[in-house]
């Protein structure tokens, strides 16, 4: 499973990218707002830093303006992936952009039928939002499993990009469900390294090592 980082925080992306943990980056208007940075400037900076796709989201609601925005965003860098909402206008924009060779991430997907439409429109990625379904007492991960099954049934090329990931368990479950990509906040990716038995084991090793009186350096 590929790891995308769901943030517009340059320092956090750099730290994970230096460790080889970043296969791509996703942003959205809320994350741009949180960063306090100029949208195009920060998108260019991220796209220069990482090799993989960098999702940048349109904000228009009608297809014509959305397409114009998408084309504009695609010019920022060759690895910009235009993010469009899963609306009829978004699907139209997706079809036109992907036909022209631009990568498109269709976001705000909450059902298998929506994911089917995204695939038919040629989306490079579809982004089902796990956490927001869980928020409603629905099973976000079940949606990932169902989309996986449907895409495999018909050999669709669209990649499943699990989004709205909030916990390390979401990462594990997304990988088990066969999600192609998971996009997670930097903190969730860092937390994947944590285990209380690792900490306890390390403490025990260090205590015994101290008793030997030896030094490595």
Residues tagged active-site: 83
Residue of 43, 96, 124, 164 that binds ligand G3P (CB under 6 A): 164
| 178 contributes a contact to ligand G3P by CB under 6 A | no
Q: Is 52 an interacting residue with respect to ligand G3P (CB under 6 A)?
A: no
Examine residue 159 and tell whether it contacts ligand G3P (CB under 6 A). Answer: no
Query: Collapsing DSSP states into helix, strand and coil, what is residue 78?
Result: coil
The two counts, helices (H) then strands (E), for the chain are: 11, 8
The torsion angle over the Cα atoms of residues 62, 65, 69 and 72, rounded to 10 degrees, is: 150
Q: Which stretch binds ligand G3P (CB under 6 A): 70-78, 93-101, 163-171, 202-210?
A: 163-171
Sign of the Cα pseudo-torsion (14, 159, 101, 55, in order): negative
- Which 104-133 residues touch ligand G3P, going by CB under 6 A? 129, 131-132
Residue 29's SS3 state is helix
Q: Which residues contact 137 (CB under 8 A, 6 or more apart)?
A: none
Ramachandran class of 215: left when φ > 0, alpha when ψ lies in -120 to 50, beta otherwise: beta
**166 forms part of the interface with ligand G3P (CB under 6 A):** yes
Q: 26 or 93: whose CB is closer to ligand G3P?
A: 26
Using CB under 6 A as the binding criterion, the count of chain residues that bind ligand G3P stands at: 10
* Polymer length of the chain: 217
Print the binding letters for residues 180-199 with ligand G3P: x by CB under 6 A, - otherwise: ---x----------------
In angstroms, the CA 150 to CA 166 distance is 25
Give the binding range for ligand G3P (CB under 6 A) out of 45-53, 70-78, 97-105, 162-170: 162-170
Site for ligand G3P, rule CB under 6 A: 6, 26, 28, 129, 131-132, 163-164, 166, 183
């Amino acid at each position: 499973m590929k790891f995308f980082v769901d943030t517009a925080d340059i320092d956090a992306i750099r730290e994970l990218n230096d460790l080889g943990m970043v296969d791509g980056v996703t942003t959205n208007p809320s994350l741009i707002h949180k960063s306090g940075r100029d949208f195009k400037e920060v998108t260019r900076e991220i796209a220069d830093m990482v090799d993989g796709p960098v999702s940048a989201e349109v904000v228009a609601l009608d297809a014509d303006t959305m397409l114009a925005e998408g084309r504009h965003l695609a010019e920022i860098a060759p690895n910009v992936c235009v993010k469009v909402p899963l609306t009829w206008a978004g699907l139209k924009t997706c079809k036109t952009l992907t036909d022209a060779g631009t990568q498109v991430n269709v976001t705000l997907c909450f059902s298998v039928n929506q994911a089917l439409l995204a695939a038919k429109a040629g989306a490079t990625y579809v982004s089902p939002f796990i956490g927001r379904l869980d928020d409603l007492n629905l099973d976000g991960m079940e949606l990932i499993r169902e989309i996986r099954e449907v895409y495999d049934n018909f050999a669709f090329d669209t990649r499943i990009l699990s989004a709205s990931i909030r916990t390390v368990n979401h990462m594990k479950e997304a990988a088990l469900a066969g999600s192609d990509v998971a996009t997670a906040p930097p903190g969730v990716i860092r937390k994947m390294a944590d285990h209380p038995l690792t900490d306890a084991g390390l403490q025990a090793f260090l205590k015994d090592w101290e008793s030997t009186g030896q030094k490595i350096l």
